[in-house]
Structure 1
Amino acid sequence: MLNSLRFDADPNRPSLLHLIADEVIQATVDLDDPAYLDAEYMQRIAYLIDAVDAPGKPLRVLHLGAGALALARYVAATRPNSYQQAVETNEELVALVRAEAPLPRRVKVKIRHTDAREAVEAAPDDCYDLIITDVYAGARVPAHVTTVEFLREAARVLRPGGHYAVNLCDGGQMRFLKPALAAMGEVWEHRAVMAEPAILRGKRFGNVVAVGANVALPVAELRRRCAEATFPCRVVAGSELSDYVAGAAPAKDGTALQSPPPPASLRSF
């Protein structure tokens, strides 16, 4: 449960609003530029959004975790007429976004107040081109959205050729990340991660964007975009990723762990 929730305007850019949850920056949106993404992990998810189909082609997208609807705004700006649904348990957060950071006119995102897993389990087969999971309880990723059982439901809901993207976080011995990635390998033929090397080595806590599909992933394009970013990161896929995850038991219902809490000194991640 979030005890403190507000938007703070950036002092150097009044149209830029930072969503603050328990004194940690959870998301940033620019009311004048819906395609603007401040968080590096969101930029990396956007690289996948840009690459999964022809530029500008509308997609059917399910957002598990609404946040400030930053990625939904990006999809609407770059792929007009996309159908988007967002799932968010925190009604206070949705009310705050609607009041202080409303979506641009003509941008429609259906919002459901329910648990992410329940939403996926209730969704029909072959419904979405892309599922984006960015779910946090406080500052931790819940275990139940990382398991083989959950991911099989997500794969069922995706259309043939659909893609899955998830924002994960870990540090240290990677007791959360590696089982989550192993679970993805049980469900999808192709996997890749985008992250800074220090995070993957456990030297620093931070975000790891993982993607999965049963069609070949646009790894070359993801590598190009990640290399050209302001803060470059690595793309690990194929046998290299299999070697990285080797030995980790896939996360499953009943045994999966939630992500570790971030360091107290971290203002955003």
Structure 2
Amino acid sequence: MGRLVHYHHPCADNFSLTFSSGSAADVIERRREADGETKLVGYPFETPVYVLYEGTRASESASDIDYEPDWLEDRLSGRPRATQVTAFRLVELLEAAVHAREAEEFRLYKDFEPDQIHRALENVSWGASLPIVAGELMSNLVLRHALPNANHRTAIAMLQFCIESADPTFEMPSTHVDDDTWKAWVDPYIVESKRLITVRRNNVRFEHLRRLGIDIVERKGGIRIELDDYELDMHWREALSQYAKRHEEHCISFAREILEQADRTDLVDRTGPTEAEFVEYLETGVVERDFTELF
């Protein structure tokens, strides 16, 4: 096996890799400059590598989630109708996911950021072919990371609603985590999505690790990123753009795979919804749905 370091601290996954060096003194100096909590790990390879992990806010149990309607309305006040409707549905999906699974399975890692939903909707090619619209919607919701957790699961549900808005007779193939088909075709898409978004935010750090002789970065969940599989030597702004495009293409492929799994290849060339049509479906077409059945 190649030389592996962890992206999230192995004993505290709210700490993530921010700096690495072959010199312990360099990492200790960087640690002194850090504002928040840090952890330092030395990897005892033949040529040692030292990694600094910095903490984000402490995660909370999803059982603590409490988005009161008045609070949510206040957070969304003044934002476009499309953002408001999509945000309400995303929060309902998050609450359903927590209810359907064990609450402790979900940790809340960040605050709810409705402005990121607005930005996600702005980057969808509304009215293009259905797989493009649905895939870009999923991709941008994941990339913008508006919810405190479950962004992939809720984005897949939104992809489903997007397809249904173009054809209400569409029946989604099973994507339940307890279903045997999950690991066969859904899980690989989610795993690669997580690799892409991690590389997108860390290309400079990962390129430095590669130059230190590291072959693999492992993030939480046992997801391994083989550094030689990704182009890393570029400016971070270029990486944000390039890997966002790759992530969109990946999610569009996922949308096409869903249509194939559902035996609905007739929808591959169907025109996708406009933003107004999608929002109208969210507002009126899923009102009676039990969202827990999606998870």
Mark yes or no: TM-score above 0.5. no
TM-score (norm 1): 0.27
Structure holding more strand per residue: 1
TM-score (norm 2): 0.25
Tell which structure's C-alpha radius of gyration is larger.
Answer: 2
Structure holding more helix per residue: 2
